[in-house]
Amino acid sequence: MHALEKRLVAVFFISAVALSLLGVAFVHSAGSYWGEIHYGDSLPFAAKQGIYLAVSATAAVFILKTRQIGNPKLWTAVYIASVLLLAAVLIPGIGAVRNGSQSWIALGPFSLQPAEFAKIAVIGKLASMMSERRGRKVFSPGHFVVILLPAALIMLQPDFGSMMIMVVSAFAILLVGGYPLKFFFGLAGAGAAGIAGLIAAAPYRLDRIKAYLDPWSDPLGTGFQAIQSLMATGPAGLTGFGYGQSRQKFLYLPEPQNDFIFAIIAEETGFIGAVAVIALFFLLAASAIGLAARQREPLSFYMISGMAAMLGFQSFLNIGVVSGLLPVTGVTLPFISYGGSSLLAAWIAAALVLRFASGAGMAKRRPGDGQSYRH
């Protein structure tokens, strides 16, 4: 590994760790009052997030030490397992319904959200398929089967946000893999028609679009979260109200430790703190892209590109929703939002970036290939 690659790895790792530690701190701040009301204790969310972080770190270390992580058969097995879990979550008695979506499998006091891990499985399987083309034509119907099957199962929950992140991440792999731009323009038209169909099939999505355009038209209904988020971020000024001094966490912003935790961060740390968090996400994504660009092996190139797209797009989507730039959709902020599945998935993605940057795809290397991977 060259000196530049080592610096990129260091930036990526430090950014991920910093975001995770900020997550524990602000999960405590954002969820303290909610915990007092529902559990009689201000610490349950932060304590659980600390446990989730320890589990995630253990999983990351395991991945970093796994020699077979680049084996295509492994990713086929992971993909099949993820599809089975997505199907299982739809079975009454197995899947648990929360906030109108049947997206979780209850495991005693904890729960598993299969869609979080399906995103990684699709990226891994697709990266493996793309790396094994060996001169064959770029287009393959199999690529779309791998993407659309789990995407359809996720939409049956329904979980539009997770589906969008999965599809965008997968299409990023196809884009860097040589699919022509005109193909994506065609997909954009088909996607717009598909989104219109999804809105027609579920009127609550149209309500979210209306709330995005004018949240004050229904301030106590569909526009409530958007308005409360803006009321958190707007008055915070340059430096915010101080750590632990959020006003919106007092049951104004529903479950502030989850999808809207960035609003609490902005409220307590102001413009400076919000920009610092955004800068960490930028460094995370930029360093991952830099590592992808320097890969000699196709599998490493595709895998890191996909994980960078997933983490980058999910961060953009969450912050865009919280700041009012995008319609409200249920998407967690990677490394920061409360939740074991979200944090574990983020660290699995981060560990895969680090593992493949260190040479997990070396089996694909061609003798004498000393240049970065190119098509």
Q: Looking at the domain assignment, is residue 88 inside a domain?
A: yes
Q: 369 lies in a domain? A: no
For residue 373, being part of any structural domain is answered with no
Residue 183 to residue 205: CA distance in whole angstroms: 27
Distance from CA of residue 311 to its chain's centroid?
5
* 161 touches 205 (CB < 8 A): no
Residue 236 lies in a domain: yes
Identify the residue whose tokens are 């499985």: 121
Each of the 375 residues of the chain gets a pLDDT tens digit; together they read 688 899 999 999 999 999 999 999 999 999 988 888 877 777 889 999 999 999 999 999 999 999 889 999 999 999 999 999 999 999 988 888 887 788 999 877 778 999 999 999 999 999 999 998 765 667 888 999 999 999 999 999 989 899 999 999 999 999 999 888 888 888 777 777 776 776 666 666 677 777 777 788 777 777 788 888 888 888 889 999 999 999 998 878 888 999 999 999 999 999 999 999 999 999 999 999 999 999 989 999 999 999 999 999 999 999 999 998 888 888 999 999 999 999 999 999 999 999 999 887 665 444 334 445 544
* Dihedral angle sign, alpha carbons of residues 36, 40, 45, 50: positive
Number of domains forming the structure of the chain:
1
In a domain, 137, yes or no: yes
Distances (CA, A) of 363 to 132, 299, 356: 11, 9, 11
The reply to whether 374 falls in a domain is: no
Please give the residue range of the domain that contains residue 115.
3-361
- Give the whole-angstrom CA distance, residue 93 versus residue 249: 33
> Tokens at residue 239, please?
């430096």
Q: Identify whether 40 is part of a domain.
A: yes
